[in-house]
């Protein structure tokens, strides 16, 4: 019997390979003995290679992603060296195989076979053909080098009926200990974005009955979080509403991560999301840009008005957490556009904003003809954009700095509302703040949270602008509320050794809580910050009072 080893190289221990599960389910159980080897890209390649050799596979398969291609390639090279001439056949697939695969399967490449597109039909057909000794190199989607000639059979046949993949969660989740699992309810996307590997790929779906069955298996396994990997969850508006109702009402104990197109957010969908328990839904909204010029250049089938309107609906939903994605370096986009986009998005107050450079992914129109748009990018992973006609290297470096500003300041819960208020005071506040932070940090390692508070406080104080005074007071208050250093704090402070006056107004905490130390801090008015033991046994601020003038 054929021994198949699937090398599932994940980016971290928390992740598991949905591709391995789907392919294993698609292969006829009598076709061979299957072993999934789950590793991370941080594991020792020598140890991983040794485990593969010890398993003695006839077929070694792997899915290549942008994040794991270098690691997997290194492991396969080591396996080759350890096996010598009697080595298994190597077959790879995944997003990294959507472009020209000749370099992967040439005599000194990492694999014998690369599959372009979906593997649920191509991979079993390959196994059958190898077993029978028939012409496996003619299977649609198969790319290989045979008799010194590169053979490319185009794109693999797609699976029209996703329910034909047998259920697998009941088997794969036995003994599963990771914090989340991926779930696919549909494949493909009808949108036309030139940077996307799913551009105009057509959408196919699992039946609602199948989705329910998979969720029951996941729930029984005790997995608390589901990451729905549909490219555009709400492409079919009515189906999206039906799924949200199922998720919310039938599986209230599970948390769901959904990728939603804001331009397609219907009133019905937002109404159903609004009924959810707080935190049950985490929404990833792929904005990418808010420039009409960019939308036209990348053939995005939406308008900026619809996108902003849909995102505003999502951000207004109190039970829902919203994560927004932006891309720097898209055709037609400028640094000014990017700053305008960020000002607009910060004003909507999503929980997180992520900004990354454009990547020219294999198989996408931008990667196949970058010269058409004047794009210059890395030729190897991560394929990041280096310059465009509208953005120089310096512009893209500024975009990188803006990305760090978001991660260091805006995406931090204790600083987010301060950043929202600050950015709202001036259209160029964010641009000036980037320059300030660059001088003080060089945008190297992320400063600790206390140092980030100091950087922001110093910048606000340096503005000599009355509009910043309220922000400064709020930041100072939060400094002490979070339990940062009192002696090195931004305000005059002294230890308070008397009883708390009856006339003091409690602002936060419990007046009956046990207090170990009290500090009098001169904010815009005098405050008492009471320190004690927090819920997890740590030193923490347990109550805050404001003193009247007589008591102080």
Alpha-helical (H) ranges within 250-324 are 267-274, 292-297, 304-315
Q: What is the pLDDT of residues 409-444, one digit of tens each?
A: 999 999 999 999 999 999 999 999 999 999 999 999
Distance from C-alpha of 506 to C-alpha of 548, rounded to nearest angstrom? 11
- 3-152: CATH number: 3.40.50.280
Q: Specify the pTM.
A: 0.93
- Domain at 168-389, CATH class: alpha beta
Place of tokens 């450079």: 357
DSSP label at residue 283: E
For residue 321, give the H/E element and its range.
Answer: strand 320-328
- Region of 134 please: left (phi>0), alpha (psi -120 to 50) or beta: beta
CB environment 51-67: b (16+ within 10 A), e (fewer)? bbbeeebbbbbbbbbbb
Based on DSSP, count helices (H) and strands (E) in the chain, helices before strands: 19, 22
Sequence-ordered list of residues with C-beta below 8 angstroms from that of 392, at least 6 positions apart, any chain: none
Q: In the chain, which segments carry CATH 3.80.30.20?
A: 168-389
pLDDT at 536: 74
**pLDDT < 50: residue spans in the chain:** none
pLDDT at 73: 96
Residue 151, Cβ density class (10 Å: 0-12 exposed, 13-18 middle, ≥19 buried): middle
Distance from C-alpha of 287 to C-alpha of 355, rounded to nearest angstrom? 10
pLDDT at 203: 94
pLDDT at 535: 76
pLDDT at 85: 63
- Tell me the C-alpha to C-alpha distance, in Å, between residue 69 and each of 52, 57, 74, 88, 382: 17, 21, 8, 19, 10
Distance from C-alpha of 435 to C-alpha of 423, rounded to nearest angstrom? 14
Q: In the chain, which segments carry CATH 3.40.50.280?
A: 3-152
pLDDT at 338: 98
Token reading at 337: 């556009």
pLDDT at 512: 85
Strand arrangement, sheet containing 142-146: 33-40, 3-10, 59-63, 89-93, 113-115, 142-146, 149-152
Q: What is the mean pLDDT of the chain?
A: 94
């Amino acid at each position: 019997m054929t021994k198949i080893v699937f090398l599932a190289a994940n980016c971290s221990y928390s992740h598991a390979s949905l591709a391995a599960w789907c392919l294993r389910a698609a292969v006829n159980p009598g076709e061979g003995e299957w072993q999934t080897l789950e590793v991370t890209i941080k594991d020792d390649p020598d140890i991983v290679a040794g485990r593969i050799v010890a398993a003695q596979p006839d077929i070694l398969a792997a899915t290549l992603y942008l994040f794991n291609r270098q690691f997997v390639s290194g492991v396969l090279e080591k396996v080759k060296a350890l096996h010598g001439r009697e080595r298994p056949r190597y077959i790879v697939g995944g997003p990294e195989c959507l472009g020209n695969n000749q370099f992967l399967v040439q005599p000194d490449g990492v694999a014998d076979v690369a599959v372009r597109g979906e593997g649920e039909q191509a991979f079993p057909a390959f196994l059958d053909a190898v077993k029978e000794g028939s012409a496996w190199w003619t299977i649609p989607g198969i790319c290989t080098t045979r008799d010194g000639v590169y053979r490319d059979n185009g794109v693999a046949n797609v699976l029209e009926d996703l329910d034909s993949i047998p259920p697998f969660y009941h088997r794969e989740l036995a003994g599963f200990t990771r914090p989340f699992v991926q779930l696919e309810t549909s494949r493909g996307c009808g949108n036309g974005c030139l940077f996307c590997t799913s551009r105009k790929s057509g959408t196919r779906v699992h039946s609602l009955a199948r989705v329910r069955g998979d969720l029951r298996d996941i729930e029984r396994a005790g997995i608390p979080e589901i990451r729905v990997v549909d490219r555009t969850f709400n492409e079919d508006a009515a189906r999206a509403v039906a799924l949200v109702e199922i998720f919310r009402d039938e599986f209230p104990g599970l948390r769901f991560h959904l990728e939603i197109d804001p331009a397609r957010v219907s009133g019905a969908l937002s109404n159903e999301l609004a009924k959810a328990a707080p935190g049950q839904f985490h929404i990833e909204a792929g904005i990418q840009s808010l420039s009409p010029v960019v939308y036209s250049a990348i053939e995005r089938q939406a308008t900026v008005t619809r996108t902003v309107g849909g995102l505003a609906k999502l951000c207004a939903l109190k039970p829902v957490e919203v994560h927004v994605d932006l891309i720097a370096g898209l055709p037609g986009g400028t640094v000014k556009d990017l700053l305008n986009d960020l000002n607009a998005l910060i004003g909507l107050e999503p929980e997180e904003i992520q900004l990354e450079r454009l990547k020219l992914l294999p198989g996408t129109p931008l990667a196949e003809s970058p010269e058409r748009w004047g794009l210059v990018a890395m030729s190897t992973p991560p394929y990041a954009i280096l310059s465009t006609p509208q953005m120089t290297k310096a512009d893209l470096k500024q975009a990188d700095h803006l990305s760090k500003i978001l991660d260091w300041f805006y995406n931090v819960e204790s600083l987010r509302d301060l950043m929202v208020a600050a950015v709202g005071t001036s259209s160029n506040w964010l641009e000036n703040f980037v320059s300030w932070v660059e001088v003080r940090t060089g945008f190297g390692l992320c400063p600790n949270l206390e140092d980030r508070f100091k950087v922001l406080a110093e910048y606000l104080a340096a503005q000599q602008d009355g509009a910043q005074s309220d922000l400064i007071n709020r930041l100072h208050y939060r400094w002490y509320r979070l339990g940062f250093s009192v002696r090195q704090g931004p305000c005059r402070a002294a230890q308070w050794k008397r009883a708390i006056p009856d006339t003091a107004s409690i602002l936060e905490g419990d007046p009956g809580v046990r207090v170990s130390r009290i500090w009098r801090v001169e904010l815009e008015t005098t405050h008492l910050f009471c320190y004690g033991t927090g819920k997890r046994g740590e030193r923490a601020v347990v109550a805050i009072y404001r003193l009247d003038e007589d008591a102080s």
